[in-house]
Amino acid sequence: MLYYKRGSKLVDSYGRKIDYLRISLTDKCNLRCLFCMGEDGVDTLSHSEILRNEEFYEIAKAFRELGIEKIRFTGGEPLLRKGAVEIIKSICSLGFKRVGLTTNGTKLKELAKIIRESGVSELNISLPSVNEEIYRFITRGGELFEALSGIEEAQKQGFKSIKINTVLLKGINDNDIKNIAVFCKERGLKFRVIELMPFSNQADFAKSGFMPQSELIEKYALKPADEVKEDLSGKNYNSYIFPTGERIDIIAPLSRKFCGYCNRVRLTADGKILNCLHGGGQFDIKEVLRSGGDIKEFILSVVSKKPLKHHIENDMIQSRPMKKIGG
Ligand code: SAM
Ligand code: SF4
């Protein structure tokens, strides 16, 4: 039997404190990034499968009462969810210490202001390239100017932090990384590159397109910005500097696992909790909620089953595509 009291912390069976929840608001997206989904990008979740606005609120409230301090809205493209602003506003009212949003930026021109007013203070914006053609190729038809005008608008709205996220793709955008770094430096944006992770819907691409961080470091003669920590000591990236002074943070889930410090769980748009991005199973909290069960007990039991680490290096990869998890 597991017990909790208001304000108590969620701790998994390896002693890791779980205080970060990522909430996927939808699996829909207006882009079709090569690394995230197949060409068809079909939405398979039906209306009844998706959590309703008030269900997102109830589940977020339970997590808050169990000690979750930081949340991030993601997707799919979270800003495509009908009622996204209302959900975000209601969940922000629960008093989380940090609230972030991960977006492809294409809806920020119209929504950045209201998102900021709703209580979101940290934005991560995906930008796979600053070259129009490469951007169009990677996103399968996206228009770079939509993301750029979203970034510009977001910068006017006083977010505490705006980070640009780029998934590193060998032979596709690796020659553009310096240009993105310059773009970010000129605008005072933080820049993070992420090693490509495999998901079953793009497993072949994940092999051909994978470039380890070591190659990127060598290619651009990057130098550590601070002491490079092998154990990462609680953060999931290391910072480097280009010879010309631009800064880049590298997240390397394959080359340098940060599982030992993992503090997160995920809630999918169809009401499943994932206690690991690449394994650990999926747990149906929607079913528990709709049948009147105790969702806090359920959350505690899911957290207690969080695996020690992922095994993607051994081809133990996630069968859910990223857009159905919430990256
Ligand atoms: N649509 C939003 C966006 O693009 O930011 C939010 C959802 S997206 C799934 C969240 C993050 O996952 C993005 O930063 C994206 O770059 C990252 N991502 C998607 N597929 C990935 C993969 N195969 N490997 C590494 N990161 C990935
Ligand atoms: Fe859409 Fe984001 Fe996936 Fe690209 S990474 S297809 S923008 S959900």
From ligand 1's centre to the CA of 292, what distance in Å? Answer: 33
When mean pLDDT is compared across 30-34, 50-54, 114-118, 200-204, the lowest value belongs to 200-204
What was the pLDDT predicted at 65?
Answer: 95
Residue 77, ligand 2, Cβ within 6 A = yes
Q: What angle do CA 257, 60, 162 make, to 5 degrees?
A: 55
Q: What share of the chain is helix, strand, coil (3-state, %, to 5)?
A: 35, 20, 45
pLDDT of residue 151: 98
Q: 2 pLDDT exceeds 50?
A: no
- Cα–Cα distance measured from residue 68 to residue 71, given in angstroms and rounded to the nearest whole number: 8
For residue 219, pLDDT beyond 80: yes
Strand-pairing partners, residue 273, are 267, 283
**Rounded CA separation 191/249 (Å):** 6
8-15 mean pLDDT: 78
Mutate which of 24, 37, 197 for ligand 2? The one with the most ligand atoms within 8 Å of its CB, which is 37
Who lines ligand 1 at CB under 6 A? Answer: 29, 35-36, 74-75, 77, 102-104, 126, 165, 167, 194, 196-197, 199, 322-323, 327
**What's the pLDDT at 47?**
82
Distance 73 CA to ligand 1 centre (A): 12
Q: Which two tokens stand for residue 257?
A: 């696992």
Give 145-149 contacts, CB < 8 A, sequence gap 24+. 146/105, 146/106, 146/109, 147/104, 147/105, 147/106, 148/105, 149/108, 149/109
Residue 17 to residue 5: CA distance in whole angstroms: 15
Fold of 10-324: TIM Barrel (3.20.20)
pLDDT at 95 over 90: yes
* Between 123 and 306, the higher pLDDT residue: 123
Residues forming a β-bridge with 303: none
For residue 96, pLDDT over 80 is answered with: yes
Q: From the CB of residue 320, how many other CB atoms can be counted at a distance below 10 Å?
A: 18
Cα gap 311→278, rounded to integer Å: 8
Range in 38-42, 123-127, 139-143, 224-228 the model is least confident about: 38-42
Q: HSE, CB side, 13 Å, CA atoms: give it for residue 98.
A: 13
Closest Cα to atom 1 of ligand 1: 77
Q: Which of 36, 143, 324 to mutate to test the pocket of ligand 2 (most atoms within 8 A of CB)?
A: 36
CB of 278 closer than 8 Å to CB of 317: yes
Question: Quick check: CB of 31 below 6 Å from ligand 2?
Answer: yes
For the residues of 189-200, what is the DSSP string, one character each?
Answer: -EEEEEE---BG
Closest by CA position to 176, among listed 159, 163, 188, 164:
164
Average pLDDT over residues 169-188: 97
* Cβ of 75 less than 6 Å from ligand 2: yes
Say how many Å lie between the CA of residue 36 and the centre of ligand 1: 6
Q: What is the pLDDT of residue 38?
A: 79
pLDDT of residue 286: 97
Task: List the single range of 40-44, 131-135, 170-174 with lowest mean pLDDT.
Answer: 40-44
Domain boundaries, the chain: 10-324
Residue found under tokens 């809205």: 73
Give alpha helix (H) positions in the chain.
53-65, 84-92, 108-118, 132-139, 144-156, 177-187, 203-208, 213-219, 285-290, 295-304
Angle at which helices 144-156 and 132-139 cross, to 10°: 100
